[in-house]
Structure 1
Amino acid sequence: MKHLSVGSRWNADLVAEYHERWKQDPQSVEADWRAFFEGFELGLSLPPKPAKGVAAGPGAAVDAAAQAKVFAAIHAYRTLAHLQAKTNPLADPTPYFELTDKALGLDTLSATQPYYTGDFLGGQMLPLSEILAKLKATYCGPIGVEYTHIQDGARRRWLQERIESCGLRPAYDAAARRSFLRTIVQAEQFERFLHKTFVGAKRFSVEGGETLLVALERLISRSPGLGISDIVIGMAHRGRLNVLVNTCGKKAEYLFEGFSENHVPDTTNGDGDVKYHLGYEGERSVDGRKVAITLAFNPSHLEAVNPVVLGRARARVDLQSDGKRSAALPVLIHGDSAFAGQGIVMETFNLSNVKGYAVGGTVHIVTNNQVGFTTGPEEARSGRHCTEIAKFVEAPIFHVNGDDPDAVVLATEIALEYRQQFAADAVVDIVCYRRYGHNETDEPAFTQPVLYRTISNHPSVAELYASRLTSSGSTPDGELAGLRTEFEVLLNAAQDRAKAAIAVEVAEREKTPAAVCPFQSPYDASVDTTAPEALLQKVAPALWTMPPDFAPNPKIKRLLDAKAEAFKSGANFDWSLGEGLAFASLLAEGYPIRISGQDCERGTFSHRHAVLHDPSNDAEYCPLNAVSGGESIELVNSTLSEYAVLGFDYGYSLEAPDSLVIWEAQFGDFANGAQIMIDQFIASSESKWGQTSGLVMLL
């Protein structure tokens, strides 16, 4: 009885079997079962309190086994209904057998018989038909949710209450819904303008997934009220131009200049990069409060930017003396195939709750186009959903129909609230489609003819939503046409400004003779790295002096004594002593230090011993944090990852230029595992993006 679960029909059948035994001979079952059946039948034999609008018959009793089947059905819908939710805008869901009345054992029960709902709907007596109708309305609508895999009871109950209290039914007023429509039309018109103005140019359109922009807008608008002051976004190429202009605030004319065939990029300070790799830093005002918006630069390598974003978010909080992790929100936007296929996704998830890398949770948004370049879901992954990897960290997953902006906003809000409440990751899987091929010059009908026949006949998100709002009275007739005209005028004006700027550029180029000016970093490497003897004399004793209540391992104690003797004699300095003095002097001069890597506290070759352990009680002590009047040092034994950890520390270094940020490879050649990060970010970011990093790699 202690481990009773009513999660399946088989358990319900077991309850029925025990119940029959108890009725024939109460002593034939355990004492726990006897108490259960006695109390259960007593309670259910009483006249139930009639639910609103339901007249309960006098003395109506409920069979315990039947009630158990109802409980099992409630659990089944919470667990499995995402499999038949209406989340795909291009197809109706396939009925899932495990949720049929027959599979749940409900086919023999009366639909009008009232049953107790337990922790569903606050514990009511309702007819079976009404219980099932409410379960289907909540869990089989445009949002399919996965949360029962979460083992933490508090988190699971919070989600259950948040989901079932609103029935996953959005209730936004007309003003909010009109703002959603405005964002969608703005995104749509931007893409259409690029398509007709710069024919044949690659832009990696977001069309079909425009509700991504609505989700981002909601994250921004809710942020100040939840204590968020910084949002750091990482995403690949699809939809990036739209996000740059319509979310981050980059002026459209600057982007349009880059499309002109007469534009010659200035490579004086570097080679530059394609438009859909560029980042941006801006600021948005929400009800008078500022929210910093950063879109991280990204190479073509999918998902590579993920740990970089997390490193930047952590550093922003670390640099604020009273900062809270919840104040900086990382938002990672994924593609469906990349989310399932790229190993860096798992490596980054694994950092989410590890000391030295936690960022207070990340909101993940998947723009699920249901195809990756030319690869269908059946070839792209083994799991049923592209989001299965998120269960690795027990993140809740909201699958939502991309043609339903209200549902997308609600799912995004719940994910954001969960992140703020529990400092944990949450995933919003926007099931949408890709209007064109992988890029606008690609022909998707070569490889997905049936899918793209459906897409070509499918109305746009803006058209569907505008029609819905007009039908409900939320917007007047002609709202869609009016918005399209408004944004067309604005985009044409931006293009006129871009043309004028290009004309000036061409005229200046004609007046100035061509010249070769190779890229050369402006930095001077001749830096004085010496430290005054007086400073070293001041900081050195901290390296071998222990608190009175701390006793290190005897072997370590001998090493510390040898350090002290070497320093006093001025001879026999080893790497450990030299490194320790360098770190201590930097800390004393006001420079924070972060060292991250596999086994970096002790050092791979037992050469550092920067964090000591007392054998008697396993207490830890870091001598460098005892440097008088100095900054603090953070030493972090990393997860067994090179790619994600190096990316995280690179991102951290971007936000902490006055700190010494070090990534240490366990063995030098292990850096091979992070080669993408070295090639695409560390070695080339200054030339491509004008972005400099002071990261130090110890190999």
Structure 2
Amino acid sequence: MHNGVMKAWLESSHLAGANASYIEDLYESFLDDPDSVADEWRSIFASLPQVNGHAVEQPHSQVRDYFRRLAKDPSRFSAAVSDPQVDAKQVRVLQLINAFRFRGHQNAKLDPLGLWARETVAELDPAYHNLQGADMEATFNVGSYAIGRETMVLSDLYASLKKTYCGSIGADYMHLTSTEEKRWLQDRLESIEGKGSYSQEEKTRLLENLTAAEGLEKYLGAKFPGAKRFSLEGGDAMVPMLKELIRRAGEQGCKEAVIGMAHRGRLNVLINVLGKRAQELFDEFAGKHGESWGTGDVKYHMGFSSDFATPGGNVHLALAFNPSHLEIVNPVVIGSVRARMDRRGDKDGSSVLPITIHGDSAIAGQGVVAETFNMSQTRAYGVGGTVRIVINNQVGFTTSNMRDVRSTEYCTDIAKAVQAPVLHVNGDDPEAVVLVTQIALDYRNTFKRDVVIELVCYRRHGHNEADEPSATQPLMYQKIKQHPTPRKIYADQLIAEGVIGAELATAQVNEYRDALDKGERVVKEWRPMELHSVDWTPYLGHDWAMSYDAGLPLDELKSLGERVSQYPAAHQLQRQVEKIYEDRRTMAAGDKLLDWGFAETLAYASLVDKGSRIRITGQDSGRGTFFHRHAVLHNQKDASTYTPLCNISDEQGPFEVFDSVLSEEAVLAFEYGYATTEPTGLTIWEAQFGDFANGAQVVIDQFLSSGEQKWGRMCGLTMLLPHGYEGQGPEHSSARLERYLQMCAEHNMQVCVPSNPAQVYHMLRRQVIRPMRRPLIVMSPKSLLRHPLAVSKLEELAEGTFQNAIGEIDALDPKGVKRVVFCSGKVYYDLLDARRKAEQQDVALVRIEQLYPFPEAEVRAILADYAHVTDFVWCQEEPQNQGAWYSTRHHYDGVLHAGATLRYAGRPASASPAVGYMSVHAKQQKALVEDALTLA
């Protein structure tokens, strides 16, 4: 550059005033990774002069200062800067291109109603860059813009930039740090100036899809006036979008797609994408329903499955069931996709596509969205990227004002946290919608990352069809009443272009209405389902008391124990972990009683050895929060890992254990989705402390406890919730047992409190071996992991089964017993220890290991020896209003004989789960034990 050119460049827009920081950011990125900036900027930065004798690796502040000095005195500029052909106007042209790439979306025509009040972006005007007059007819080098062209007349370039970045598509991608991904998106958009090319057949099909979307809503509105249907009207383009997404995915080798969405447009998707028969929907509106299990759910929560024909073969579609809790279905969908990938041996998501559909207010407002985004690139939860569609109807939920529902310009800005590109598109331009759909899917399949499409549209009716939106949105709904529908706009466009005649557009409307009148399927691509998913038949219709083969020969168990206690000699363990594995080898030989961690490990080993899949996630699951599991061994020399449970035999089933992201809600929802899709193995979520499951309460309430009753969705997910009062305070004591017991009904789930290693071994094996798939809630231990009395013999694992209730273990004379104390969990050992120290013989201890379903027959059998006893006590550590007391006391009415009484011994009722002072805790614990054991 010549001195005058350099000075002009330094004084140009991007280096002036507030834009100085823009250059600094670019330069800092260049220093970190030269490939992270565009070619033109990399060329400029690479040619900068040395500063104080050093190359450009010097801090960027020195280069900034150099710029400023040079601007004041251009004579300081030397020949050290190369490429003298570059002039000031050329640089400004490149700045203009970059401005459109960065900010063109802010002036794109995205709002179909034209109500968005958006400020003009000054940087998009050539005059802002001192490019005007004769400059507009001059020819400039355009760098990497528009593949195949090295130069363009500025006026042509400007027109092209506006078409590409300020038309119906707003491409928001310059926040990506990957140069490869940015260039890929630039090339796709700029090479076609942001506009697709479609044949007459494709345009006619697109109109047909819009006709179907509109036709269903009008038909339902006339046939069932006033009924809630959460209409798609205004966002009609979602139907062709989804169909194009599935068609193109199938063409590229996809075999399954799982869709998650809330209410808006769900009925339309069921009928016009998945191919549900229209008559079935009409029957639901009319209140008719066939014979089905459970209580059922409203029609706009229901799921559906079908096959969809594509040029690459049939794609199996699954629309997930979901409750009204917005966005919670997203991690469920991702979990289901991961299970399908694992079953197919798909490591990158090539054969299974997750599609999640969001509302504009919900994606910005619901925290589970951020949690799910954060999971997207992790080992435990990655699915090769998700296509996320946002239906932005500009009202949000019921009466919202956009200024009240988010703090960002776009509802999709949350996606930028995980480097996801966002393609905003005007919902009234269906061809642009199809184009961004193609680009989004291709991006996902190329880079295996999340991508977001924001369909900017409107809502023709209120929150539901009985709502009156003009009460809170008067101007918008005045505009909507005058605004033609997407189908009308596109039909008029095609007629004007000569693509179709007016009679064809009318014929499409009539044909669709006739099909609905007949109650038919209206999706031409619908195909009868082949067996894509696992067969659930073996898990249906079983009773809780069914017998099953739980045995495992002692020699086989010893062999497994030896194998899972071995690791390579060169794999140096941390000292305490090494001692744990030394002890395990002794336990496996039968020379030492088994502790909790080894019994649990043997349960997993025995299952994977027979081919079952095991998946465990949680915030410390590899090691175990309380240092007991150590399924993953970390080499102290090089930090490499070794997992003995993955090295049992060549024919074993998969064993996976992952330390999860710091999330409860999204992680538990993911594992629920996984377990509902993979019944053959054992899926476990382990809370760091049981209390933390509070953060996943929506998943527990809406899916785990009620999913089978509402939707017929069986699930064998196991939750391990560390629970026990060791004086660690209110948030590290209680897994809130009472909440799970309050939700128990109709044998919907199991709630167990195992008290020794043999019990946890049999409990975990039972969850797989017994063909019963319902959630298992486990109050798992903390102090019992190393309690000297909480040990088991190897023979108890080999020969026994899970005992729902355990009677007295000491040699008490039943005739001398005056009181029977029922209890569960850790408090049993406090009672046992106190009774033994007092040499007390007149109080028997009975453990209830499965609180639900209540083991009435087993308890009745245990109490047969105590027919003379009338004094019964329930003892618990938890406060009286918590724990099992209120939720289980009614069960004892069926097992206690006439004249017997049952009273409570435990902490008094409390608003907090536990005290925060160790001295108070110890005093309370001593008092409740004495109360339970001391006879009047």
TM-score (norm 1): 0.88
Q: Which amino acid is the alignment partner of residue 194 of structure 1?
A: L
Give the counterpart of 1:331 among 333, 355, 371.
355
Structure 1 residues 615-630: aligned runs within 5 Å: 615-628=636-649, 629-630=651-652
**1:547 Cα shift?**
1.6
Deviations 1:572-592 (A, max 9, x none): 211101001100000111111
In the alignment, is residue 660 of structure 1 matched against residue 682 of structure 2?
yes
Distance 1:22 1:617, change over 3 A: closer
**Structure 1 residue 458 corresponds to structure 2 residue 483:** yes
Aligned CA distance change for structure 1 residues 630 and 20 (closer, same or farther; 3 Å): closer
Distance (Å, rounded) in 2 between the aligned partners of 1:282 and 1:484: 25
Aligned counterpart, 2:61: none
- Structure 1 counterpart of 2:216, from 190, 194, 199: 190
Task: Please report how far the alpha carbon of residue 125 of structure 1 lies from its aligned counterpart in structure 2 after TM superposition.
Answer: 2.7
Question: Which segment is superposed worse, 640-649 or 106-115?
Answer: 106-115
Runs of 4+ aligned residues of structure 1 deviating over 3 Å after TM superposition are 5-8, 12-27, 101-105, 264-267, 321-324, 520-523, 525-530
Cα distance in structure 1, aligned partners of 2:563 and 2:169: 58
Question: What is the RMSD of the two structures over their aligned residues, measured on CA atoms?
Answer: 2.5
Change (3 A) 1:26 1:633: same
User: For 2:109, which of 62, 68, 86 is the aligned residue?
Assistant: 86
Are 1:133 and 2:153 an aligned pair? Answer: no
How many Å separate the matches in 1 of 2:252 and 2:416?
25
Paired position in structure 2 for 1:66: 89
Task: Give, in whole Å, the separation in 2 of the partners of 1:583 and 1:23.
Answer: 70
Aligned partner of 1:149 in structure 2 is: 175
Could you tell me whether the CA contact under 8 Å between 1:205 and 1:440 is conserved in 2?
Answer: yes
- Residue pair 2:668, 2:699 contacting (<8 A) in 1 also: yes
* Residue 593 in structure 1 maps to residue 614 in structure 2: yes
347, 350, 358: which one aligns with 2:374: 350
Q: Does residue 150 of structure 2 align to residue 124 of structure 1?
A: yes
Give the CA deviation at 1:551.
2.1
What runs of 5+ residues in structure 2 fail to find an aligned partner?
Answer: 2-8, 21-43, 49-63, 522-539, 722-936
Q: Counterpart amino acid of 1:537? A: K
**Secondary structure of 1:366's partner?**
strand
1:215 pairs with 2:241: yes
CA distance in structure 2 between the aligned counterparts of 1:19 and 1:128, rounded to whole angstroms: 28
Within the alignment, does 1:524 sit opposite 2:557 as a pair? no
What's 2:303 paired with?
279
1:585 maps to a residue whose letter is S
The alpha-carbon deviation at position 113 of structure 1 amounts to 2.1
What is the CA deviation profile of residues 193-217 of structure 1, one whole-angstrom value per residue up to 9, with x for unaligned ones?
A: 1111011110000011010001001
| 2:387 alignment counterpart | 363
SS of the equivalent of 2:145 reads: coil
- Give the structure 1 partner of residue 713 of structure 2: 691
Where does residue 76 of structure 2 map in the other structure? 28
Query: How many Å apart are 1:412 and its aligned residue?
Result: 0.6
- Give the Cα separation in 2 of the matches to 1:92 and 1:443: 20
Q: Aligned equivalents of 2:515 and 2:501: distance in 1? A: 22
> How far is 1:476 from its partner?
1.2
Of the three residues 325, 329, 332, the one matched with 1:301 is: 325
Shift of 1:654: 1.3
Instruction: Pick closer, same or farther for the CA change 1:548–1:21 going to 2, 3 Å.
Output: closer
Q: Check conservation: 1:614, 1:620, Cα contact below 8 A.
A: yes
Superposition deviation, residue 26 in structure 1: 8.1
Paired residues for 1:542-581 under 5 Å: 542-569=563-590, 571-581=592-602
Distance apart, 1:266 and its partner CA: 4.0
Retained in 1: the 8 A contact 2:704–2:715? yes
Alignment of 1:172-571 (within 5 A): 172-261=198-287, 263=288, 266=291, 269-287=293-311, 289-321=313-345, 324-372=348-396, 373-494=398-519, 522-526=542-546, 527-569=548-590, 571=592
The residue that corresponds to 1:52 in the other structure is none
Q: Secondary structure at the match of 1:227?
A: coil
Q: Check whether the contact 2:251–2:312 (CA below 8 A) recurs between aligned residues.
A: no
**Secondary structure at the counterpart of residue 439 of structure 2:** helix
Give, as a single letter, the amino acid of the residue that structure 1 aligns with 2:560.
V
**Post-superposition CA distance 1:87-129 (Å, at most 9, x none):** 1100076432332334333347722222211111245332222
Decide whether the 8 Å contact of 2:252 with 2:312 is kept in 1: no
Q: Deviations over 1:434-470 (max 9, x none)?
A: 0100000000001001101101110001100000001
Q: 1:651 and 1:399 mapped to 2: Cα distance?
A: 29
Q: 1:636 aligns with which of 658, 677, 690?
A: 658
Letter in 2 for 1:437: G
State the alpha-carbon separation in 2 of the partners of residues 440 and 201 from structure 1.
Answer: 7
- State the percentage of identical aligned residues: 43
2:693 counterpart letter in structure 1: A
Q: Which has the higher contact order (CA 8 A, sep 6+)?
A: 1
| AA of the residue aligned to 1:135 | L
Aligned pair count? 646
TM-score, structure 2 normalization: 0.66
The equivalent of 1:678 in structure 2 is 700
What is residue 508 of structure 1 aligned with on the other side? none
Match of 1:640, SS?
Answer: coil
CA contact (8 A) 1:137 1:167 kept: yes
CA deviation vs aligned residue, 1:468-489 (integer Å, no higher than 9, x gap): 0011111112222111111111
Q: Between 568-577 and 100-109, report the one with greater CA deviation.
A: 100-109
Task: Label 1:24 to 1:383 Cα distance change in 2 as closer, same or farther (>3 A).
Answer: closer
Residue-by-residue CA offset, 1:192-248 (whole Å, 9 max, x unaligned): 111110111100000110100010010111122211111100000010011111111
Give the letter aligned to residue 104 of structure 2. Answer: A
- Match for 2:129 among 95, 100, 104? 104
1:69 Cα deviation after fit? 1.2
Matched, 1:9 2:32: no
In the alignment, the residues of structure 1 paired with residue 72 and residue 471 of structure 2 have an alpha-carbon distance, to the nearest angstrom, of 68
Q: CA deviation at 1:534?
A: 2.8
